[in-house]
Structures are given as structure tokens and as C-alpha cells.
Structure 1
Amino acid sequence: MTGVAATMGAAVATPAVAAGTVPVPVPLDGVENALNVKAPKISGELPVPMPGGPRGPRYVEGRLIPEHVLPQLPVNGGLPGANVHTPLPHVLGDGFDHFGVGAPAADLRTLTPGLSLDTPLTAPKADHFGLPDAKLPQVAVLTPLLKTVPAANLDMGAGA
């Protein structure tokens, strides 16, 4: 029995890990039994952030220091998701309607800030006997990037 339960648990956990989210159920069965009312069904999804490989420095002709001295690090993850499905009792009558909100976990792609700089000297020049010329130093802060497309669904209808 234990082996079958472990196999079933692994089979259930594998799709969540493959999707990059971990399901988080909120057990409200005790409230439903103790108060003798229909409790809402609530669950969530937490993302698992996955760091990527940074783009390394890129050497450019005419510069003494490579571009992107402090590279941007990509981190892919997601926004947390939530599902709420609650019964709404009829004021007059025995039936139930329901109201639901579903906000699935959304992919989130980010890049951390980076830094690019250049020295106040040019590359050595042959016409100056191998000596560099002076120039203005250059410093650039690479802005962070944040891309996502969140979504939500509202559902209302008859039946619990």
C-alpha cells in the first residue's frame, strides 16, 4: 500500500514541478463539517523561480573593457495563482448558486540590472607610437526587464 501511495504521490507531483508551480490547497473540510455549511474551495499556485545563465561580456573593437562588465542575469518564474469557488445560497429557496474567481499562475521573465562602462582612453593607435588618446569615460546602467501577462476569470452561475 505504501509503495502504491508513494507512486501516486510522485505522479501527482511531477506535472506541478514540470509546470514550474507548486499547488497549495487550502483545506476547509473541517469548517464545513463543524458549522454544517458549504465552505468555499480555495487553492493556490506558487511559482518556482529558475535562474538562467548570464550573458557574458562581449568584446567590441575599439574598447579596452568589454561591454556588459556586470552582466544581466535572467530569472524566469511566475506570478502566484489562486482559485476560489464559493457557493451562494438562495435567499428564498433550497438551491445554491456559485461564484468563482480563477487567476492562473502567469509566466514572469526578468533581467536584473547590469552595468556597462568604458575607460577614458582609446585603444592604442599606430600613428601615436602605440599610445592611446584621451576621451570621455562612458558608463551605462542596463535597465531591468519585467515581462508578464497576468489573467483572471470570473465565473457565476447556477449550481454549487
Structure 2
Amino acid sequence: MKPTTRGTLAAVVTGVAVAVAVGAGATPAAATGTVPVPVPLDGVEKSLHMEMPKLGMELPLLIPGVPEAPRYVEGRLIPEHALPQVPMNGVLPGADLRLPLPHALGPGFDHVGVDLPASDLRTLTPGLALDAPLTAPDPQHYGMPQLKMPEVGVLGPVLQTVVGGDLGAGPGK
């Protein structure tokens, strides 16, 4: 088979795979904001002949936003927000745990489950605001700037989220 034929065939197979994935409703991890991480314990369960806990996690993908541009303010030599705060959007990690408890809570209750879904997270990184120890050029002093006290300020980080969870007990798998 010629190299051009192989390349064409590879491109067609890749296109078909993408079309099938889109048709099946598969979404890339970047679109959801989390990456599911199942913890496979099936081998341990089969080798020990006993029911093992079911554990799954969701790890976040942080997406940096666009920082606010520095603003020039009249009377200041250095722009406001010299080191701007950068917004970061993502999610807090989630977890899903299901433990077998053979009738510890009475008949009909053989499992305890904890579900902590991934929750949206919005943050702003710390920033810095400062001003030089000189004023703007003063026309009353022949265009020479005046001395003044330097100004330095730290803009604190911001964290916004709402966390939820669910704890339950019930029967069977």
C-alpha cells in the first residue's frame, strides 16, 4: 500500500471515529470541566470472593480566564491593578463511594453510600496595586513631579463555590 493511500485511509478512519463519538453523545473532558477517575476494584473483588467498596472520583480541570486590563487613572504614574487578578474557573473534586455493610443497620440496609458531586468553583488570584513615589508632572513647578508617599496594596484572593453532598443507606448493589 502506498504512503498516500495509508494517509488517506487513516484520515477517513479518524473522521468516522469522531463522527461515531459525536453521535453517541460523548463529550470531551474539557467541555465538562472534570475528568472522571474510576477506581477499579473488580480484580480484588473476584480474587477475594467478597464485595468491595465502589469508588469513583471526578478531578477538576482549571480554566484560566482573561484578567482585567490595567486602567490608567489621572494623577497616577503607574496604572491601577499593576498586577491584575486572574479569574480561574473550574470545579471542586467530586467523589462517589458505596460501601457494603452486611445488615449492620438492620434488614434491608446492606450498603452505605456517599455522593459528593463536583461543584462549580470561581476564583480570583491575588493581585497587586501600587503607585510610584512621584506625582504627575506639575505645571506650577515647571513640569517637575512632586515627591509623595509610595502606595502599595495587595488585592486578596476570592473563592466562590456551593458544596453539596448526599449520604444514604439502602439495599443491594
CA distance in 2, matches of 1:24, 1:74: 26
Find out whether 1:65 has 2:81 as its counterpart.
Answer: no
Which residue does 2:65 correspond to in 1?
52
Q: 1:84 aligns with which of 89, 94, 97?
A: 97
- Judged with a 3 Å threshold, the aligned counterparts in structure 2 of structure 1 residues 15 and 96 are, in CA distance, closer, same or farther, namely farther
Which residue does 1:138 correspond to in 2?
151
Deviations 1:111-139 (A, max 9, x none): 22211111111112222222222211111
Q: Which runs of 4+ in 1 moved over 4 A?
A: 8-13, 93-96
Identity percentage over the alignment? 61
Alignment length, in residue pairs?
158
Which residue does 2:172 correspond to in 1?
159
More strand by share: 1
Consecutive unaligned residues in structure 1, runs of 5 or more: none
Partner letter of residue 155 of structure 2?
Answer: L
- Judged with a 3 Å threshold, the aligned counterparts in structure 2 of structure 1 residues 50 and 100 are, in CA distance, closer, same or farther, namely same
**Superposed, which structure 2 residues align to 1:8-19 within 5 Å?**
8=21, 11=24, 13-14=26-27, 16-19=29-32
Deviations 1:54-81 (A, max 9, x none): 1111100111111111111122122211
Consecutive unaligned residues in structure 2, runs of 5 or more: 1-15
Q: 8 Å contact 2:110–2:171 — kept in the other structure?
A: yes
TM-fit CA distance, 1:150: 1.9
Deviations 1:33-61 (A, max 9, x none): 22222222211100111111111111001
Partner letter of residue 107 of structure 1?
Answer: D
SS in 2 for 1:105: coil
After alignment, is 123-132 or 38-47 more displaced? Answer: 123-132
Q: 1:29 aligns with which of 26, 42, 47?
A: 42
**TM-score, structure 2 normalization:** 0.78
- Judged with a 3 Å threshold, the aligned counterparts in structure 2 of structure 1 residues 32 and 96 are, in CA distance, closer, same or farther, namely farther
- Judged with a 3 Å threshold, the aligned counterparts in structure 2 of structure 1 residues 137 and 77 are, in CA distance, closer, same or farther, namely same
TM-fit CA distance, 1:17: 3.3
Which residue does 2:5 correspond to in 1?
none
TM-fit CA distance, 1:10: 8.7
SS in 1 for 2:47: helix
- Judged with a 3 Å threshold, the aligned counterparts in structure 2 of structure 1 residues 96 and 31 are, in CA distance, closer, same or farther, namely farther
CA distance in 2, matches of 1:95, 1:134: 79
User: RMSD value over aligned CA atoms?
Assistant: 2.8
